[in-house]
Amino acid sequence: MKLSDIDLGDLDADNDPHFLDYVINLPILAEIREKEKYIIIGPKGTGKTGLRIRLESILDNDCVISLTDEDTFSISDLQTTNQNEIKRAIQAFLVLKVIDHIKSVDRFDSRPLETFSDTKLGGFLKGVFESIQINTPIATIALDKIFGGKNKRTVNNLLSEQFLSKVRDCIGTDCVWFLIDDVDSFISFDDESQRSIMLIQFIYALHELTAKKLQQSVNFVTFLKTEVFNEARKRATEIDKIRPRIGPLQWDMTLLKAMIVERLKWNLKSAGSSRRWQAFIGGPVDDFFNRLLSMSVNGPRNSIELMRLALKNAADLGHGKITVQNIENVERAYGQEVLKDLASFHQHNYKNVDDFIDIVLRGYEGDFEKDALEAQIKTAFLYDKQIKDDFGEKWARSTTAHKLIEIFYEVGVIGIFDDAHGEFIYSFERQEFSPRPKSKLCIHPGLRSFLEAVG
């Protein structure tokens, strides 16, 4: 099998037909299955969609609810700016989706809901059931029957303990898993203030439904981009109260290596080859993976990107094996692509962050202490009015050097030296960042070659 024949799969798990053939189980998967974590956060490229797909594959299909393109609505459809009403409307929508699932799957007994037949709620449910029978999208039903001030009583009834206890009775000893890949995938907004409100109330809505109202008969699991979650957290510190239920999606070198190795094994198996995967690597295998994986800024996505570039370089040079030299040959081009990815991933919170990184860190070499980087930020940007005005983005202009260093760490550009482990740690491994003035920092190895180059 030639190096040029190796297929590492699509970067997006949703578009990879072979993803489940070489997926690896992350530690957080067990915490989700045990219902310990249900708000999963991670930067783009860390495998949130892949984790959702893996979770779906090991759950009973009758017990999984996923949102579709038809399950979308705008926050303006709720016809209210009251934050508690927004939260309750989102909850009512999700409960309606659960009812739709209960009625659509033979496994569940919907008869407990018939106890409301002689009430106003019974009339509402009858209309809902009729709409479900003719495949009316739940968002369409919600627009007519639960959104807006005129439907406030219906929302209250749907979220009452009397009604939700019957929903739990329908599910019985089973557990329904409601998986939401990205909150932006089903609620749209018109401006940034609406987005913040929606994010905060969505998180509160899920927590209350899972932990209290449905008592984990329905386990809502949502996968949020770290920057989206941090945006909500800045504006609602009470989110910290549900911290035990929040699980950061983290990778280490062992997991990243396993992810690459499983893809190499799958290629050999698909080709009917008896070769061992190590046969693709020239030189010490550990040295190769240490170099490859040390350059991963956001985890699996970057690891695959760099491995793909290095494989192509080796194949173009006519090599039969891939080596550390092939990684070195492509590291500058790789760093440029990673910086473009970071700009795309963080465009909402930190617009043009790639240009800002270039302004501050271009030509900045080696390891450095935190207070030295603060001085560099002040000299290269904060104290230079012309450069600040030319850059223009408020998130960078109206803040401190300390905050900008936090942003550098958050997006993955710098790491901090961990004395306990004797190595630099990056945000995809550990999201908390608490540097001291003399803390040792460094530019991420995956970006170093590109940023240290001048001109």
| 3-state SS string for 342-407 | HHHHCCCCCCCHHHHHHHHHCCCCCEEEHHHHHHHHHHHHHCCHHHHHHHCCHHHHCCCHHHHHHH
Domain boundaries, the chain: 27-248, 252-345, 353-446
What 8-state DSSP symbol labels residue 437? T
387 Cβ partners below 8 Å, 6+ apart? 359, 380, 381
Question: For residue range 172-219, what is the model confidence (pLDDT) as tens digits?
Answer: 999 999 999 877 667 887 777 777 888 889 999 999 999 899 988 999
The architecture of the domain spanning 252-345 is Orthogonal Bundle (1.10)
Quote the CA–CA distance of 283 and 281 in Å, as a whole number. Answer: 6
Element (H, E) at 313: helix 300-316
pTM across the whole model: 0.88
Question: For residue range 223-258, what is the model confidence (pLDDT) as tens digits?
Answer: 988 878 887 887 887 888 888 999 988 888 999 999
212 Cβ partners below 8 Å, 6+ apart? none
Question: For residue range 395-451, what is the model confidence (pLDDT) as tens digits?
Answer: 998 899 999 999 999 888 999 999 888 989 888 777 778 888 899 999 999 999 899
Q: Give the mean pLDDT of the chain.
A: 90
On whether the CB atoms of residues 217 and 168 are closer than 8 A, the answer is yes
* Whether residue 455 has pLDDT greater than 60: no
Q: Which two tokens stand for residue 272?
A: 């009917």
126 Cβ partners below 8 Å, 6+ apart? 117
Quote the CA–CA distance of 147 and 92 in Å, as a whole number. Answer: 9
414: β partners:
443
Orientation angle between helical segments 353-361 and 445-452, nearest 10 degrees: 70
Q: How confident is the model at residue 454 (pLDDT cuts 50, 70, 90)?
A: low
Amino acid at 341: D
Orientation angle between helical segments 253-270 and 285-294, nearest 10 degrees: 120
Alpha helices in 79-191 (DSSP H): 83-104, 120-133, 138-145, 152-158, 161-171
CATH level 3 topology of 27-248: Rossmann fold (3.40.50)
